[in-house]
Amino acid sequence: MSLKRVMVLTGGGDCPGLNAVIRGIVKRAAQEKDWEVVGCIESFNGVLREPTEIVILNEKSVENILAQGGTILGTTNKGGPFEWPVRNADGTWGTVDRSDEMIRKLGYLDIDAVINIGGDGSQRISQRLSKKGLNIVGVPKTIDNDLSMTDYTFGFQTAVQICTEAIDKLVTTAASHNRVFIMEVMGRDAGWIALHSAIAGGADVCIIPEIPYNIDKIKEKIEQRYNKRHGYCIIVIAEGAKPVGGSVTGSATGEVGYQHIKLGGVGEQLAAELKAAGVEHDIRCTILGHLQRGGTPIAFDRVLASEFGVRAMEFVIEGRFGQMVAYHHPDVVGIPLDEAVREQNLVSPTGRLVHSAKGLGITFGD
């Protein structure tokens, strides 16, 4: 009997739990007699580059990776089969579509199916490859939790835990020095990390992209938190936040083929705006940055990622392609890739969690 081959890859920014998904896929496949698993290095680059970089994945290769952060396969958020970076004759960079060539190459490599573990950008690639006839299953990952068709993406709860522990630490130094602390967190267009950690850490102010802020409202809250010069105030701000009528703070990275604007700096901007608005207390800003994505996944994310891995492999075995696995409590279900990438999951300004946060006295600057 000839073996069938499934190729696994991780795309986009890394995220705690990626290795747990890979392990889940390999362990489930090992229970079948007719499937073998290979890993493609650095998203689809392992197939697109010459020489090809593909590794056999067996139970030995996934031993002891459950708790390991990052991804044993490597990843990238640059380029991809539809936008492969090439240098033009005049020295500038452009892109070419290499998707047909890549699908042909997967055929030469006897790849029967692909599991693409990635965020919205990666699942958009899965959807386009699926339309071209590739047997593909998507697994949603991102610390931002911004995919609408799954209750949670793995990695998100770990990022929230890291941010919450950081707030706990900032509280002690803020209280000792009577300072205002601004903590900037990731999340791109979604305020989920900021909102969850602000509630869990007992912050006073939470600024998210979905609710543009008015500086006077934040100043008002700060003053309430002080009795003359005694007091402190903790502000959590999402990197994609913006003032009413303003825009996000970020810049192009200048990295070839990079898919995003690099967000960052809104915390310092808020500090400057507060000073300009007349806040006289000391203000300090902490940017957590990639600490939020590094290190070991917490138990919730290990469980979710492991389940996603097992189910994705089962979809492959059952021939259920063109689907993304998703968590719909209490089940792990399949969502057609077309639907999976249609909308972002953003915080509702009138939703339950913002309501609860306001009930706790958290100010959103609106």
From 33-41, 68-76, 136-144, 171-179, give the range in contact with ligand F6P by CB under 6 A: 136-144
* Residue 185, strand partner residues: 238
Which position has the token pair 């083929």?
A: 257
Smallest distance, Å, CB 292 to ligand F6P?
Answer: 7
Smallest distance, Å, CB 293 to ligand F6P?
Answer: 5
Residue 45 or residue 77: which is nearer to ligand F6P going by CB?
A: 77
Residue 80 or residue 334: which is nearer to ligand F6P going by CB?
A: 80
Determine, following the binding rule CB under 6 A, whether residue 143 of this chain makes contact with ligand F6P.
yes
Determine, following the binding rule CB under 6 A, whether residue 347 of this chain makes contact with ligand F6P.
no
* Radius of gyration from C-alpha coordinates of the chain: 22
Which amino acid, one-letter code, is at 99? Answer: S
Residue 221 or residue 293: which is nearer to ligand F6P going by CB?
A: 293
Q: What track of x and - describes contact with ligand F6P for positions 41 through 80 (by CB under 6 A)?
A: ------------------------------------x---
Q: Are 288 and 237 in contact (CB under 8 A)?
A: no
From 59-67, 93-101, 107-115, 184-192, give the range in contact with ligand F6P by CB under 6 A: 184-192
Binding test (CB under 6 A) with ligand F6P, winner from 20, 57, 182, 186: 186
From 39-47, 61-69, 169-177, 185-193, give the range in contact with ligand F6P by CB under 6 A: 185-193
What order of strands is seen across the sheet that includes strand 331-336?
Answer: 54-57, 35-40, 4-10, 113-118, 136-140, 323-328, 331-336
Nearest Cα residue to 121 out of 194, 25, 209, 15: 15
Give how far Cα 132 sits from Cα of 9, 178, 189, 272, 303, Å: 18, 60, 30, 50, 33
Nearest Cα residue to 74 out of 121, 9, 125: 9
Residue 84 or residue 156: which is nearer to ligand F6P going by CB?
A: 156
Alpha-carbon torsion (232, 237, 243, 249), positive or negative: positive
Determine, following the binding rule CB under 6 A, whether residue 288 of this chain makes contact with ligand F6P.
no
From 65-73, 182-190, 273-281, 317-325, give the range in contact with ligand F6P by CB under 6 A: 182-190
Nearest Cα residue to 62 out of 331, 346, 309, 322: 309
Determine, following the binding rule CB under 6 A, whether residue 237 of this chain makes contact with ligand F6P.
no
Binding test (CB under 6 A) with ligand F6P, winner from 28, 188, 196, 302: 188
Show the tokens assigned to 53.
């970089």
Q: Which of 14, 120, 144, 189 is flagged as catalytic?
A: 144
Restricting to residues 8-37, name those near ligand F6P by CB under 6 A. Answer: 13
Nearest Cα residue to 28 out of 1, 54, 55, 6: 6
Smallest distance, Å, CB 258 to ligand F6P?
Answer: 7
Smallest distance, Å, CB 81 to ligand F6P?
Answer: 19
Show the tokens assigned to 65.
């990776």
Show the tokens assigned to 131.
């339309």
Residue 43 or residue 77: which is nearer to ligand F6P going by CB?
A: 77
Alpha-carbon torsion (96, 100, 105, 111), positive or negative: positive
Determine, following the binding rule CB under 6 A, whether residue 263 of this chain makes contact with ligand F6P.
yes
Residue 69 or residue 322: which is nearer to ligand F6P going by CB?
A: 69
Nearest Cα residue to 58 out of 82, 84, 32, 90: 32
Smallest distance, Å, CB 35 to ligand F6P?
Answer: 31
Say which DSSP state 147 is in: B
Determine, following the binding rule CB under 6 A, whether residue 144 of this chain makes contact with ligand F6P.
yes
Residue 168's CB is within 10 A of a number of other CB atoms, namely 13
204 labelled catalytic = no
Nearest Cα residue to 281 out of 198, 204, 212: 204
**Count of residues engaged in binding ligand F6P, rule: CB under 6 A:** 13
Determine, following the binding rule CB under 6 A, whether residue 297 of this chain makes contact with ligand F6P.
no
- Residues with active-site annotation: 144
Residues that bind ligand F6P (CB under 6 A): 13, 77, 119, 142-144, 186-188, 239, 262-263, 293
